[in-house]
Amino acid sequence: MAQITEDMVRSVVAEIVAQMMKNGNGNGAGPIAIDEPVEQIEFTEMGVAKQGTNPKEVVIALAPAFGDKLKMRTLTGVAHAKVLRQVMAGIEEEGMTPRVIRVKHTSDLAFIGKRGAELSGSGIAVPLQSRGTTLIHQKDLSPLQNIELFPQAPVIDLETYRAIGRNAARYAKGESPQPVAQMNDQMTRPKYQAIAAVFHIRETSFVEPGVKPVDLQVKFK
């Protein structure tokens, strides 16, 4: 069986995008917002991330390329800066403290979430992949378990990211909130599968095996 390369996937994506433009986006997941002004974000690495001691701390664990490489947008064109800002705002609304780290040794959302939760003072973390997928993780759970999972990035809007931040903070406080409501679009998978594959391939190319997570200072511009 021939090996699937990034060039092959990009070729498929080009065909899909061309067909979408020909037929129109139609109903379903939102359009790619390529004309939206990009909010910028600047990260400063503050050293190896240590175990948190503040019980009010909720970790936001970024994938290797989030907000720093690639095009700094989710696969539907939402600026990474806006996504991160909303998750942080949701945490702060609940009186908790967001702490941003970058996990470099893996691009797998489950393992990013697990590592973030282990380092979190409250034991709760929200991992973010570059394509926009996320979840809420607790340190006592295995990597493939989670409190809430949001696998369909194309249907997650900024309001939902903020709600995810709020719920993460509520779990950190020991509460049992209602899960964040999610849209369900059956066309999301066929419509964005190839694009999502390209994102994951590129994200994985920035993985640094054996490198420890780092704390990040965040500045929005």
Residue 13's pLDDT is what?
Answer: 55
- Tell me the whole-structure pTM to 2 decimals: 0.83
Average pLDDT along the chain: 85
pLDDT tens per residue, range 143-190: 999 999 998 888 899 999 999 999 999 999 999 999 999 877 666 666
Position 11 scores a pLDDT of 58
Handedness of CA 6, 153, 188, 158 (dihedral sign): negative
pLDDT digits (tens, 9 = 90+) for 79-104: 999 999 999 999 999 999 999 999 99
Query: What is the structure's pLDDT at 56?
Result: 98
Amino acid at 20: M
Q: What gap in Å lies between CA 96 and CA 145, rounded to an integer?
A: 24
Distance CA 121, CA 142 (A): 18
The CA distance from 5 to 198, in Å, is 10
Residue 35 pLDDT level (bands cut at 50, 70, 90): very low
Nearest to 130 by CA among 159, 109, 111: 109
CA distance 20 to 27: 11
pLDDT of the residue at 152: 85
**Three-class secondary structure of residue 180 per DSSP:** coil
Q: Where are the beta strands (DSSP E) in the chain?
A: 41-48, 57-62, 97-102, 124-128, 134-138, 148-150, 214-220
Q: What is the DSSP letter of 54?
A: -
Q: Is the pLDDT of residue 74 over 50?
A: yes
Sheet hosting strand 41-48, strand order edge to edge: 41-48, 214-220, 97-102, 57-62, 124-128, 134-138, 148-150
Fold category of 33-175+184-220 in CATH: Rossmann fold (3.40.50)
Summary count for the chain: helices (H), strands (E): 5, 7
Of 54-63, 138-147, 192-201, 210-219, where does mean pLDDT reach its minimum? 192-201
